[in-house]
Structure 1
Amino acid sequence: MGKLSDVQIRSWIKAGERFEGKGDGDGLYLAYRKEFAVPRWLFRYRFAGKSRSMGIGTYGDLSLAGARKTIKELRARVALGHDVAGEKQERKRVAVAKIEAEKNALSVGQLADEYFERMIVGHWKHPNIVRSRIERDIKPNIGKLAVQDVKPMHIDVMLQTIVKRGAPTTANDVLRWVRRMFDYAMKRHMVEYNPAVAFNVSDAGGKEEARKRWLTRDELVRLFEAMRNAKGFTVENFLTVKLLLLLAVRKQELTAAKAAEFDLDKAVWYLPAERTKTSAAIDIPLSKPAVECLRKLIALGCSSDYLLPARKRQERMLPHIHENTLNVAMSKAKPQLKDLENFTIHDFRRTARTHLAALGVDSHIAERCLNHKIEGVEGIYNRHDYFPERREALAKWASFLDACEAGKDWNVVPLREKQKTA
């Protein structure tokens, strides 16, 4: 059989002539079967005494000259002891396996979700703090990476991104949770090593110092004014922020509170143990301004089971407002307070504690107002909860806050001085 030519091949294609194989020599064949849209090149050879065949391309993609060159290279490899058809099949198998593995690979985002559901939900009092770190920081940075592909450099870039936006404490939190997530993955043979294990807080946000920020009387006056005047600052948010100041409780304790926990006739909030940081239930006395705020919020809640029901559809489908709702609200008021040192909602507790001391409230009573445990031997043996004393202290604090809200001067005799003159 003679050599093939481009003229012959084009004439066969034009005539629609189909054939099993026409040879060009040296094992090069052109096949144009009925199921082929275009002719295909084949290389036929013998290896270990057996006939072998492999496709090397189509006539449209590989010219006759190109096919001859390819065949020459393949024959040389066969002469060196290579089963080129077998090698091609192996490469294809590896490529398909890799694609399948990538398609089924567990992503960091999926790992985070699994870790959250198995290790956080039901084990942590405030799981949404962890969920916030996952959704706001971990997933946007490394969530789409396969867990096996995460390298230390990915962890470093994520931490530095968080630090650069001015959130070093968050960077430390993210590092802690990522390390725990990958420890979880190692125990379950998802990864062979933890890419975050070599990092410490010095690589993230650095050593955390206890915050000292509290709001002075003048700053509280300006805060109330800013909340009243801020565009989009709702009545619900105003009342909630005021309650956080009045009660000096933790944000999550109030945002997740159920309306049934409050006895407004007796002016008491029965805060259950499962929602306190100390894991101990506490009865919180409610001042008259606090009761007024609660009555308004319960009315605005339209018979909801929760004091602060969810206001819109949330990703986690919480029945109450998200913990970040108040942070967003405060961001609307802060432009009017930009000349003040930055403060957070958690600083309200330190604000209350500082002013309680200034109002003459004894330290152990002020500590119990913040639901802090009494330290040392006294805390072990003294089980008195100072409810009447706390009611008096929080009433004094409420009067002080009312004066701040009204922008009035505050002149009061501290409790200690009242006790001396009594």
Structure 2
Amino acid sequence: MAKRGSNLLSDLQIRRWIAGGESVAKSDGDGLTFTLSAAGTATWVLRYRFANRSRELTIGNYPDIGLGAARKLASEQRVAIDKGQDPAAQKRAERQQLKAAWTVRRVITDFKEKVVDAGQLSARTRKAKHWDLDNIILPKLGPFNVQDVTPPDVVDMLDRSGRTWAMQNRFLTTAGQVFDHAIGRQLIRINPAAGIKMKALMGPRPPVRKRVMLKEGELRTLLSSVDEIGTENALALKILLATCVRTWELITARWEHVDFERGTWLIPAEKVKTRVAFLVPITPTVAAWLKELRHLAGDSEWVLPGRSSKRAGSHVGRSTLGAAISRAFERGQLDIRRFTPHDTRSTAKGHMRNLGVSREISEIALNHTLKGMEGIYDVREEIPERRQALELWAMFLATCERGEIWNVVPIGRAVA
């Protein structure tokens, strides 16, 4: 044990050291030491010897534990040391016992609360994470103590899922995030999912489906027969084409965010892939289509309200529009190349470039984030170039809808 002496410190001294901001380590006697880090963390440490070895026990932080309380706690620990106990070793054992109580299920519950449901992820991402956790990771790894999970356990979980390369890669990413969370809580030191590579498990990633850009003739054919997929679906498809929004952004649109007077449609941050809200200009053509939907929606708050009792009070399902398009192809009602709702964005992008819209503005029209462009526009405000580009694109679509050929040749760039 350290040589015992009198109480050497005072509250006034401690406050002065903290105000000074420099790192210090000052003894109060009998092994009790006040330490102040360069970062400003003030801590009480008891230094002692046990079995001929120097030991340190962190008692707590100042000012949570004042000088008098620190002396009392240090005195209690000295009594234990005199009885042959090692408080530092006991504290380590207690930490290990606490860690042993953490199953993967408990880690996932904590991960959901502090990460998945903390308001930083989009609704779509949250839904995907919950699905992965509840249907893949919990059933296989949930009962395990988090310290006992090994890489082979994670590989077995992926193999048993029987899913595609892309889905298993998503499960692996989610599992890695769960175990990173456990590392952050100091429950484990190594992430058992970190070294696993999908290429080693299932070979190279399958080629990503190439996006379709519908040609002008295909657009004329599509728009002349689009009502075959149903009035609401037809209007939704035309709005997707003309506004360049993502399908999910339209499906979850509310009337409160559509301002016909200003000619804008706000996409809230929680619905956006980039987690940044933005305004979509409503051109006269799109406004007419939206007003048709407004009439069909009745008193619903949703632009595209659910059409079954199961979805009463909510919006249509994520697959509704895609399923309607697929059925029309299967019935032979659409005599063009197969496409999906997401292909409306690649179609719009390609045609805007052909119409003379610059690459930067066409990217902004699709709400893509560009390097070097973030500081130029405030996405919460109207972007005139985006409106001009979408007005030009809507004119092109209106021409196709009438079955006419677009004969306006862009001189240079129509929209710079």
Q: Same fold (TM over 0.5)?
A: yes
> Matches of 1:281 and 1:270 in 2, distance apart?
7
Residue 394 of structure 2 is aligned to residue 398 of structure 1: yes
Pairwise CA RMSD: 4.2
- State the distance in 2 between where 1:304 and 1:373 align: 33
Cα displacement (A) at 1:181: 3.2
Distance 1:275 1:364 in 2: 23
How far residue 223 of structure 1 moved from its aligned partner, in angstroms, is 4.3
Q: CA separation of 1:396/1:297 partners in 2, compared to 1, >3 Å: closer, same or farther?
A: same
Deviation, structure 1 residue 141: 5.3
Give the TM-score normalised by the residue count of structure 2: 0.59
For the residue of structure 2 that corresponds to 1:350, the secondary structure is: helix
Residue 271 of structure 1 is matched in structure 2 by: 267
Show the counterpart of 1:241: 237
Q: Which residue of 1 aligns with 2:119?
A: 123
Amino acid in structure 1 at the alignment position of 2:198: V
- Structure 2 vs 1, CA of residues 116 and 400 (structure 1 numbering), >3 Å: closer, same or farther? farther
Q: Distance in 2 between matches of 1:142 and 1:354?
A: 41
Q: Cα offset for 1:276?
A: 3.4
SS at match of 2:241: helix
Q: Does 1:288 align with 2:284?
A: yes
- The Cα of 1:145 is off from its aligned counterpart by 3.7
Q: How many residues align?
A: 304
Give the 3 Å change call, closer, same or farther, for CA 122–205 of structure 1 in structure 2.
farther
Q: 1:382 to 1:396 in 2, by over 3 A?
A: closer
Gap change, CA 1:158 and 1:419, over 3 Å in 2:
closer
2:283–2:390 CA contact under 8 A, matched in 1:
yes
Deviation at 1:133, TM superposition (A): 6.0
| Cα deviation code 1:16-74 (max 9, x no counterpart) | xxxxxxxxxxxxxxxxxxxxxxxxxxxxxxxxxxxxxxxxxxxxxxxxxxxxxxxxxxx
C-alpha distance in 2 between matches for 1:238 and 1:312: 18
Q: Secondary structure of 1:284's match?
A: strand
Q: 1:353 to 1:179 in 2, by over 3 A?
A: same
2:172 to 175, 197, 222: 175
Deviations 1:256-296 (A, max 9, x none): 22212112133222334454344444332212221112112
Match of 1:46 in 2: none
1:214 maps to 2:237: no
Give the aligned partner of residue 159 of structure 2: 157
**Quick check: which has more Rg, 1 or 2?**
1
Residue 111 of structure 1, CA deviation: 7.3
> Shift in Å at residue 369 of structure 1?
1.6
Seq. identity, % = 29
Q: CA deviation at 1:298?
A: 1.9
- Output aligned runs, 1:221-236, within 5 Å: 221-224=220-223, 227-229=226-228, 233-236=229-232
How far the C-alpha of 1:177 sits from its partner, in A, is 1.4
Name the SS of the counterpart of 1:380 in structure 2.
coil
SS at match of 2:279: strand
Cα distance, 1:134–1:291 mapped onto 2, change above 3 Å: same
* Alpha-carbon distance between aligned partners in 1 of 2:293 and 2:359, rounded to the nearest angstrom: 31
Superposition map of 1:78-89 within 5 A = none
**Residue 176 of structure 1, CA deviation:** 1.0
| Contact 2:249 2:271 (C-alpha < 8 Å) held by counterparts | yes
Q: Is residue 2:253 matched to residue 1:251?
A: no
The 2-side partners of 1:129 and 1:226 are apart by 35
Report if aligned partners of 1:361, 1:414 keep a CA contact under 8 Å in 2: no
CA contact (8 A) 2:322 2:341 kept: yes
Specify the code of the residue in structure 2 equivalent to 1:172. Answer: N
Classify 1:280/1:189 alpha carbon distance in 2 versus 1 (closer, same or farther; 3 Å).
closer
* Structure 1 residues 16-415: aligned runs within 5 Å: 115-132=111-128, 134-135=130-131, 144-145=139-140, 147-148=142-143, 151-158=153-160, 161-163=162-164, 168-184=165-181, 196-202=193-199, 203=201, 206-207=204-205, 212-217=210-215, 218-224=217-223, 227-229=226-228, 233-312=229-308, 319-335=314-330, 336=332, 343-376=339-372, 379-380=374-375, 387-414=383-410
Residues 351/193 of structure 1: CA separation in 2 closer, same or farther (3 Å cut): same
Distance of 2:107 and 2:334 partners within structure 1? 40
Change (3 A) 1:262 1:173: same
Instruction: Report the alpha carbon displacement of residue 349 of structure 1 after superposing the two structures with TM.
Output: 1.6
TM-score after normalising by structure 1: 0.58
Specify every segment of 5 or more residues in structure 2 that has no aligned partner in the other structure, as ranges. Answer: 1-101
